[in-house]
Amino acid sequence: MTTTTTTTTDDELMAAAIDAAVVARAAAPPWPSVGCVLTRDGVIVGRGATGGFPVGPHAEVAALAEAGDRARGATAYTTLEPCDHDGNTPPCTRALIDAGVARVVVGVVDPDAKVAGRGLDRLRAAGIEVSVGVGADGVEHYLAPYLHHRRTGRAFAYLKTAMSLDGRTAAADGTSQWITSPEARADAHRLRAESHAVLVGPHTAVADAPSLTARDVPLGPWGQPIRVLLDGKGRVPVAGPLADAALAPTVVYATAAMPAATVAAWSEAGATVTVVGGGDDGRGVDLDAVLVDLAATHRVFQVLVEGGGRLHGAFVAEGRADRLVTYVAPVVLGERGRAVVATPGPETLADATRWRVVDVAPLGPDVRITYAPIRAAA
């Protein structure tokens, strides 16, 4: 039973709700990971987070259960707007109203079409005071893949690379194992496990024959992430780990140029082949179509892009890179090394893509730096 005296500022209590959500986020998808804190008379009387899909409970219901009778007259701090529809579980708005909560503080309005303000309207109609936008920046940060999924209909593209101090992913002869330390590689497997899909292009698939599985780390309830191969013309042999359905599911995105025999071979190996249009460069596949299909068909919130410089360059050039995580090793490979982002780039600095740092962490001798693109307002 939670009776810890706490501070009473909205921002600090929303931060506590965010902490609860972050701890629980591995089990939530395809639900969003939500955190909820209930307070009365300056005391936290209930904490909750989204339970495992598909039976929950949702965060608000879990917090109310812990609070019991002390929920009457309390204030609920919830990171995402409470739902107001029957699904796998009853509406959270009904639970809050029935419990006699006096005030609800919401971090971010849920962009899901089933919610999108309806929960707020229901609470206000019941006479509950509602505040929106408290701690919104923190919620937007930790819940970015879900919010992006619902707002855009696309999977959140998380580009990952290991590189030298001078921004190279491999030496001149193509050797790249291992630029980074065991600590960095272990963290990269954690990132795979937290993603719903891991994506590569044909060059990486042929050169490395990767398994794209998360190893030596706890897995989410969905198990191994989906392996995604972009191979417009069917250049990748149907062999090796990606053709082994026992390791994890594989989805191959191709164009009409992939030979029918190759499509049949992937299907016989247990993979799903989806035909999309060609890419902007006339060679690859339509990245936008891939991200939309991953979101709609496979319910992927976050896809980890592990391709080489060409694939990363395509994502950046087309404005489809939502995060860039770089594992930087203390080594210099020189100008003949291979670039992290292989794209011609702008003619002038004024036209360069700008990024902001969202996280920095040391990992053994290496440093992980995560960036978000700075996009012009629509």
Closest listed residue to residue 231, CA positions, set 209, 210, 203: 203
Structure tokens at 172: 């001149």
- Let me know if 13 is exposed, middle or buried by CB neighbors in 10 A (0-12, 13-18, 19+): buried
Longest dimension (CA), the chain: 69
As a whole number of angstroms, the distance between CA 83 and CA 205 comes to 42
As a whole number of angstroms, the distance between CA 282 and CA 232 comes to 10
Strands lying side by side in the sheet with 323-328: 272-275, 250-254, 226-230, 197-200, 302-305, 156-163, 323-328, 366-373, 355-363
Structure tokens at 252: 């191959």
3-state secondary structure 50-69: CCCCCCCCCHHHHHHHHHHH
What distance lies between CA 334 and its chain's CA centroid?
33
Closest listed residue to residue 364, CA positions, set 141, 210, 162, 160: 162
Q: State the Rg of the chain over Cα.
A: 23
Give the active site residue among 12, 60, 194, 268.
Answer: 60
Task: Identify whether 306 is a catalytic site residue.
Answer: no
Give catalytic residue positions: 60
